[in-house]
Amino acid sequence: MRIVFVFLVLIAVSVYGGSMLFRSMQDGQLSVISGIGQSEAAPVPAQPAPASAAAPAGDTAVPVRQVAPGEAVTFNIKSGETTNSVADRLTQMGLARNALLFRLRVQWRGADGKLQAGDYQLTSGMSEDELIAALQAAKAKDSPITFIEGKRLEEFVEALEKTDTGIDSKRFLDLAKRGNFTYDFLETKPAGASLEGFLFPDTYRVIPGKTTAEDLIHQMLKKFGEQFPAAVREAGQKNTGLTVYQMVTVASIVEREAQVKEERPRVAAAYVNRLRDKEGLFADPTIQYAVGKPGDWWPVLRDSPRNIVPTSPYNSYIQGGVPPSPIASPGAAALKAVAEPEKSAIKYFVRNDVKNDGSHVFSNTLAEHEANRVRYSRQ
């Protein structure tokens, strides 16, 4: 078998070298083409593959970026893609030295037809054997875990505990409370403050037994950065005069208050206008956050909000300004609503118990608000 392999390689070298020499002579080059067998000492430049081989079947061929030395990239193998196609694309990217030799090496290792579909992290400079081994590795089955908008950190931990992911929930909580992660959107977070509000609510896919608590938190923070990008944050600071941390705090209250998604920019406008005029936020969710406990994180307030934990910094009926921290994780719509609140004079709103659909009635003045409370609030 090895004799046959060597024979095939010699034929390949002969054919490949001859074609290169012919093209060299046509182009008027006088340099001598080195033998392909010396590729370890002097790598042969990757040759452009035909358009039909540059991408998996059914895909439109696009220019392939050359991978820089030592660079790590994600390489995708489509379901049903041939070894020839994989070899061509690896060569185009500079991950393999020569497509023909790579295909022969795959056959020599008995791996033809065994390259697994999926995404792989490859690094420029890997040997052919390392590439082949990596592309045969069966992908570990992942599991989904969903975190819902408007939930507080402890509820995220409870959701994690209900999944079979193997992620240490205590470690997750400890890391989230310490908040020692470096991202640009965390720069205005007070020292020692937790990641409350910044762990973006979404569905994440994790690999049981492999994904760690740190990995998951990084995924959630990266998603936050994607959903609340720098351009939106900068615009929000100009629109509201709030820091990023304060915007996330207000957005967490908007997420809890606005059940009707179309109302979020109006609710956000009411809070931003009150803060501008140095008035209290008068937000029930902040008090619920202060008194919530396991099994009842968002209790019904059965007394006047002013009388409930009156000394708490989260009692927004007594304490002015923005509460000390976010009270839950806002979604993208709530974050955007605060960064781009409705341009209006709205400062007050009351739940519409007449419709009883979660909507609110808005007003500009306190007198209008008091009249709306009488008309729309359940007695």
Question: Last residue of a domain, which of 136, 156, 173?
Answer: 136
pLDDT bin (cut points 50, 70, 90) of residue 66 is confident
- pLDDT exceeds cutoff 50 at 366: yes
> pTM higher than 0.75 for the full model?
no
Element (H, E) at 275: helix 264-276
pLDDT bin (cut points 50, 70, 90) of residue 139 is low
pLDDT of residue 210: 85
pLDDT of residue 44: 42
pLDDT of residue 242: 97
Find out whether 98 and 44 touch, Cβ atoms under 8 Å.
Answer: yes
Question: Last residue of a domain, which of 81, 105, 136?
Answer: 136
Element (H, E) at 244: helix 244-257
Evaluate the CA torsion angle 92, 96, 100, 104 in order and state its sign.
Answer: negative
Question: Last residue of a domain, which of 195, 227, 259?
Answer: 227
Residues 277 and 371 in one domain: yes
Which pair of tokens denotes residue 254?
């908007």
Which pair of tokens denotes residue 312?
């708490």
Collapsing DSSP to helix, strand or coil, 361 comes out as strand
pLDDT of residue 65: 72
Q: Could you list the residue range(s) of the whole structural domain that residue 116 is in?
A: 2-136
Q: What's the rounded Cα separation, in Å, for the pair 308 and 140?
A: 50
Higher pLDDT: 131 or 283? It is 283
pLDDT of residue 377: 85
pLDDT of residue 198: 98
In a domain, 233, yes or no: no
In a domain, 327, yes or no: yes
Residues 125 and 71 in one domain: yes
Higher pLDDT: 351 or 68? It is 351
Find out whether 345 and 273 touch, Cβ atoms under 8 Å.
Answer: yes
